């Protein structure tokens, strides 16, 4: 697919995702039934896990395309890695802001070392480092390699981080733990959650393609400028 | 294989010899360790918390900060007169250079880790517990994992304009397992608990160090290539 094609497809997907997001908000405010024990605040559930899922997906894509970039050295893989990493930061930030807001009311505290919340926080910082090394090298190619190395090492050590955080938490049990995801989730809540996951994924796909197309256009511009000088 | 080991050995020997002659990093790191012990002693109110409750955490954080101080300068010697180009142009494979650097860094950091342990035992009046061997093993495995990540990311950070400033941001999120398992094991051992209770922690520290070393050896060539 050409860059223009990707840009058009990205625009369509992002537009659909934004419309879908409006629909998800409408459903979660006016359609879905209120959860019995937590009440209104539980409605943040239709934003928080979908954002978490999308950021994990995005960081996974970033790590995978980073590894493929180091292997194949195709510029397009680096554009993909960077675009996915930016998407991961955006959705990770949504997850990290909605988590404490919900936690304050559901658990009575803004922050707990809940393993998935902790993992997202650390992933967020790993990819902060990803962007910092990327932007502070003299030679852009070096920055691409450095950031790819950061993403790969991060993804290799994620299992250790997860296991250790779970172990740490087993030492410090929280007084009240409400696990939001039970197998006994009522039908309409499950439907809305899955819809929201689909919408967030669609939105990410749109942003990802738009961002990728932007890198492609930048690249094209540089090529043209070089040719003009020559 | 023996050639490979000799190439690793040459890098280790070169770095340790330079360190022995200049004593730059070891002196700074040792002084940092002792002074941190002094400051931590004054920063904690022993009438509120018992020394053994917080000592393990302080020991590991001191090792982490001290490690950043020393390991961050791994490639400073080579930065002068483009000496790094010379090292990289040698016939030794890039992973052998990485392992050599990591091993010499390990020798440095482990020596400092032992000093940190000694300093805290002295200043905080700690007992080493019933199994000193396991404490030394935990510190050794933790130091190994640290230098594996530290050496790789020191190469990354020395290639950026930000230099060592960016190193903690790259390394700290990845050090979470090392700090959790390391401090957990050390704390229990210093409290006199049996080794069997921390066997799982020691295994996780070893696995972490191995994965970090393998990742560093495999990825180092992408960091230093031109």
Tens digits of per-residue pLDDT, A63-77? 999 999 999 999 999
B159 contacts on A by Cβ (under 8 Å)? 137, 142, 146
Check whether A4 has a pLDDT greater than 50.
Answer: yes
pLDDT tens-place string over residues B50-108: 888 889 999 999 999 999 998 888 888 787 777 888 888 888 899 999 999 999 999 99
Cross-chain residue pair B219–A152, CB shorter than 8 Å: yes
Whether A133 and B160 lie within 8 Å, measured CB to CB: yes
DSSP H helices, B90-165, are 94-124, 132-158
DSSP A33: P
Tokens 């390391």 -> residue: B182
Q: Does residue B28 surpass a pLDDT of 50?
A: yes
Fold observed for domain A3-173+186-229: 1.20.120
Chain A environment of B213 (Cβ under 8 Å): none
Query: Which residues does chain B have within 8 Å of residue A164's beta carbon, measured at their own beta carbons?
Result: 176-177, 180-181, 204
Quick one: closest CA in A to B207, which residue?
A160
Task: For residue A98, count other CB atoms closer than 10 A to its CB.
Answer: 17
The secondary structure of chain B in percent helix, strand, coil, rounded to multiples of 5, reads 85, 0, 15
What is the tens place of the pLDDT at every residue in B75-85? 887 877 778 88
Beta strands in chain A (DSSP E): none
Q: Do A164 and B211 touch (CB under 8 A)?
A: no
Instruction: Delimit the domains of chain A by residue range.
Output: 3-173+186-229
- Rounded CA-CA distance A175/B67 in Å is 36
Q: Find the residue in A nearest to B185 (Cα).
A: A168
Average pLDDT of A179-192?
70
* Partner A contacted by B159 (CB < 8 A): yes
Contact B149 A152 (CB under 8 A): no
| A contact set with B (CB within 8 A) | 70, 122-123, 125-126, 128-129, 132-133, 136-138, 142-143, 145-146, 148-150, 152-154, 156-157, 160-161, 163-165, 167-168, 171
Under the banding of pLDDT at 50, 70 and 90, the label for residue A44 is confident
CA dist., res. B143 & res. A157, Å (int):
16
pLDDT at A176 over 50: no
Phi and psi at B77, nearest 5°, equal -60, -45
Q: What is the pLDDT of residues A106-139, one digit of tens each?
A: 888 888 888 888 999 999 999 999 999 999 998 8
The beta-carbon contacts of B7-10 under 8 Å, at least 24 apart in sequence, are B7/B91, B7/B92, B7/B93, B7/B96, B7/B97, B7/B100, B8/B92, B8/B96, B8/B99, B8/B100, B8/B103, B9/B100, B10/B92, B10/B100
User: Does B176 contact chain A (CB < 8 Å)?
Assistant: yes
Q: What is the pTM (predicted TM-score) of this model?
A: 0.91
Question: In chain B, what residues touch A171 (CB-CB under 8 Å)?
Answer: 184
User: Which residues in chain A touch residue B177, judged by CB atoms under 8 angstroms apart?
Assistant: 157, 160-161, 163-164
Give the one of A149, A164, A167 whose C-beta lies nearest to B222's C-beta: A149
């Amino acid at each position: 697919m050409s860059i223009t094609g990707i840009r058009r497809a990205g625009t369509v997907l992002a537009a659909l995702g934004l419309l879908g997001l409006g629909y998800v908000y409408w459903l979660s405010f006016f359609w879905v039934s209120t959860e019995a024990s937590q009440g209104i605040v539980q409605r943040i559930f239709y934003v928080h896990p979908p954002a978490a899922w999308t950021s994990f997906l995005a960081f996974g894509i970033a790590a995978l395309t980073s590894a493929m970039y180091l292997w194949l050295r195709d510029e397009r893989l680096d554009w993909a890695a960077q675009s996915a990493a930016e998407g991961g930061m955006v959705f990770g930030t949504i997850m990290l802001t909605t988590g404490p807001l919900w936690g304050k009311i559901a658990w009575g505290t803004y922050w707990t070392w809940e393993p998935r919340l902790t993992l997202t926080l650390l992933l967020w910082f790993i990819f902060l480092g990803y962007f910092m090394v990327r932007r502070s090298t003299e030679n852009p190619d070096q920055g691409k390699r450095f950031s790819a190395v950061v993403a790969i090492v991060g993804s290799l050590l994620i299992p250790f981080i997860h296991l250790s955080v779970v172990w740490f938490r087993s030492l410090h049990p929280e007084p009240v733990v409400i696990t939001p995801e039970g197998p006994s989730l009522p039908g309409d809540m499950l439907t809305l959650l899955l819809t929201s996951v689909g919408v967030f994924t669609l939105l990410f796909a749109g942003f990802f393609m738009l961002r990728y197309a932007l890198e492609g256009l930048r690249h094209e511009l540089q090529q043209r400028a070089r040719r003009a000088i020559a | 294989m023996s050639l490979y080991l000799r190439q690793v050995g040459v890098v280790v020997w070169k770095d340790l010899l330079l360190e022995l002659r200049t004593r730059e990093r070891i002196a700074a790191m040792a002084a940092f360790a002792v002074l941190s012990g002094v400051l931590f002693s004054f920063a904690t109110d022993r009438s509120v918390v018992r020394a053994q409750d917080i000592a393990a955490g302080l020991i590991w954080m001191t090792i982490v900060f001290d490690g950043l101080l020393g390991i961050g300068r791994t490639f400073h010697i080579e930065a002068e007169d483009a000496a790094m180009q010379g090292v990289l142009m040698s016939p030794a494979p890039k992973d052998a250079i990485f392992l050599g650097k990591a091993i010499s860094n390990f020798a440095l950091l482990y020596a400092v880790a032992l000093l940190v342990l000694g300093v805290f035992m002295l200043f905080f009046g700690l007992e080493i517990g019933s199994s000193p061997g396991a404490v030394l093993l935990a510190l050794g495995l933790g130091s190994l994992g640290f230098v594996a990540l530290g050496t790789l990311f020191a190469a990354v950070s020395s290639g950026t304009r930000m230099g060592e400033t960016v190193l903690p941001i790259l390394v700290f999120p990845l050090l979470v397992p090392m700090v959790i398992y390391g401090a957990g094991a050390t704390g229990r051992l210093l409290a006199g608990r049996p080794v069997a209770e921390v066997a799982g922690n020691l295994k996780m520290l070893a696995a972490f160090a191995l994965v970090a070393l393998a990742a560093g050896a495999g990825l180092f060539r992408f960091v230093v290539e031109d």
